[in-house]
Structure 1
């Protein structure tokens, strides 16, 4: 159990590091990671000393892909993948996180960060099927989606703006 928690924290730290780098490249009000915790997963601070909570989740096509990518499966072939299934999983992640945010006690705004860990689909695939993404309910200040798109470069999009 402690190993799983360490792995989860490492995945979250990697995701928030990617996010901060992309955010700071595109915004004057720079962010930095203050600390990691539970509910929300990370607390950031902007250049004006304001704190921002960050709930973090990883998007996998399905549990088998997650196991394969995390080295927990010996399978090397995966079922036929379609972007609609990944977006269905994305919508489920958003709804699950929106349902949990009401339980958080926080004196600062909270954003959601979704890191696309699926190797099958990239940012352009998601954006091409954006009409399938459920409209967020406004519980998070932003729903940041970070994904690769056929290269090692990470891209970022606020799903609230779709």
Structure 2
């Protein structure tokens, strides 16, 4: 990984965790704050009760061409027909990949998974309508959060464990 790519990854993760903390704190009595960014998990938060929570962060894109274009590095490739089923398959693959890597993380505190939907292709209402096709995360994470938009610039936070 180049330093530029690593810096970009850290910035994306910091933006995601800040949005997560803001939305989480607006709905919960126990508040969270960022202690530090880390590797495995990507962020460590502190609760208002003094505990720690690790957060593994991943970004959902429709495909590699969309990711490159949205990150300002278009390569000229074009996606095939755009379908919600493909985005759900990408989401399910992300969840399975993160589940398989969980054992390498620090077991000193619980870990949540945060998936930031970076794809503007589908809205929360469309994704939520297909929720029966979303892979329910296993118990390696205490929570699996989905950060997305629903046709506005505002981020929404959904707990995928509620599906």
How would you bin the TM-score normalised by the shorter chain? over 0.9
**Contact 1:68–1:76 under 8 Å retained in 2:** no
CA RMSD of aligned residues (A): 1.2
Q: Secondary structure at the match of 1:61?
A: coil
TM-score normalised over the length of structure 2: 0.96
TM-score normalised over the length of structure 1: 0.96
Pairing 1:128-139 to 2, within 5 Å after superposition: 128-139=129-140
> What does residue 43 of structure 2 align with?
42
Distance (Å, rounded) in 2 between the aligned partners of 1:153 and 1:139 = 29
Structure 1 gaps of 5+ residues are: none
**Contact 2:13–2:42 under 8 Å retained in 1:** yes
Superposition misfits of 4+ residues, deviation over 3 angstroms? 74-79
Q: Secondary structure at the match of 1:72?
A: coil
> What does residue 125 of structure 2 align with?
124
Instruction: Give 1:122 shift.
Output: 1.5
* Greater shift in the superposed pair: 129-138 or 70-79: 70-79
Corresponding residue pairs, total = 162
**1:62 corresponds to 2:63:** yes
Instruction: Give 1:106 shift.
Output: 2.4
> What does residue 155 of structure 2 align with?
154
**Residue-by-residue CA offset, 1:98-155 (whole Å, 9 max, x unaligned):** 0000111221000000000001012111100001101211110000001001100111
> What does residue 114 of structure 2 align with?
113
